[in-house]
Structure 1
């Protein structure tokens, strides 16, 4: 198995449907085993200062029912916060429809199963139709988020937190990884569509 295949196999990908505040949504689900205790993983995603070290420093009323903003203009509301197992936020960027991002954590034997669920009513958010478009999509983009989280937990703190990025270089190792992941998400989407043909 190649190094790229090993990276691709770290994530279990699936689709589903979910009712969110914006309406009946398509949901992408990615799960990964992260070799750190649940409390440490929870702190990395729920503690304002730690989140600012590896993503971006949020501002706002950071408690259930409160609202937040990120430096790139992303914003939303904290819908559920049941530490250290569940965090759900609404999430919007620019003129896009409001989506929901949910993090499920399950601890076992000193490691954490991390499941990210991203639900949106926006069409075509999960994969790109044309390779090399230079834009992150829901599937490959949120997998990059998991990569940065794992790097942070391993002690590799970025000099400049990347934020929630949606543009990538058109060439290079990161672009190749993005396209390989995007292809996996296309296959996952095709399988889901086949299962749900009327």
Structure 2
């Protein structure tokens, strides 16, 4: 099984609801094992020099209660920081979409289980919006974990993830993005059935 196939097969995808600063939000939950120790994973998601190499360098007051901004214009506040297990930030993308990202790390012998929760008050944020070309949260955050694992393994992308858009993906990466989007569509349909298709935020 290839690395992308393994990552797809070992990923858990589900949904929930969460109260964030912007209001009552739909939350996607993504869980995947990362084959590196928790201290290394924490450093890779919290150190600006590391983030610059696979996402984009955050600038600002990078501590709990401080603020950050990424090269693509995404900005927010650092809400919680509990090394090496929990990082929670607010997220506001160019155009005004408000969300909250939480990454929870759990040590599992020599590897780490990463649980990523992304909650937004914007309807339809999880899946592909072909008109906008904006990264869909579901497959988009999976690519974040791909890039994190590649970085930890000593491979750096040609371009930081935060700089490129999904419409620029080609070949196997484009196919993987669309496959993951279909898996998120299935997870959302299942969650809607379990919750009687409760209406999402508008």
TM-score, normalised with respect to structure 2: 0.90
Q: Could you tell me how far apart the structure 2 residues matched to 1:164 and 1:10 are?
A: 27
Distance 1:80 1:3, change over 3 A: closer
Report the CA distance between 1:73 and its aligned residue: 0.5
Q: Could you tell me how far apart the structure 1 residues matched to 2:119 and 2:189 are?
A: 18
Distance 1:136 1:160, change over 3 A: closer
Give the count of matched residue pairs. 197
Report the CA distance between 1:175 and its aligned residue: 1.2
Q: Could you tell me how far apart the structure 2 residues matched to 1:4 and 1:35 are?
A: 14
1:104 and 1:114 in contact (8 A); partners too: yes
1:133 and 1:170 in contact (8 A); partners too: no
2:15 maps to: 15
Report the CA distance between 1:129 and its aligned residue: 6.4
Q: How does 1:62-141 map to 2 (within 5 A)?
A: 62-128=62-128, 134-141=133-140
Is 2:134 the partner of 1:144? no
Q: Could you tell me how far apart the structure 2 residues matched to 1:3 and 1:74 are?
A: 29
- The answer for unaligned runs of 5 or more in structure 1 is none
1:188 maps to: 187
- The answer for unaligned runs of 5 or more in structure 2 is none
1:179 maps to: 178
Distance 1:99 1:133, change over 3 A: closer
TM-score, normalised with respect to structure 1: 0.92
Secondary structure of the residue aligned to 1:168 is helix
- Superposition CA RMSD, Å: 2.1
Report the CA distance between 1:2 and its aligned residue: 7.8
Secondary structure of the residue aligned to 2:168 is coil
1:14 and 1:188 in contact (8 A); partners too: yes
2:29 maps to: 29
Deviations 1:56-94 (A, max 9, x none): 111000000000001110000000000000000001111
Q: Could you tell me how far apart the structure 2 residues matched to 1:193 and 1:112 are?
A: 30
Q: Could you tell me how far apart the structure 1 residues matched to 2:188 and 2:137 are?
A: 12
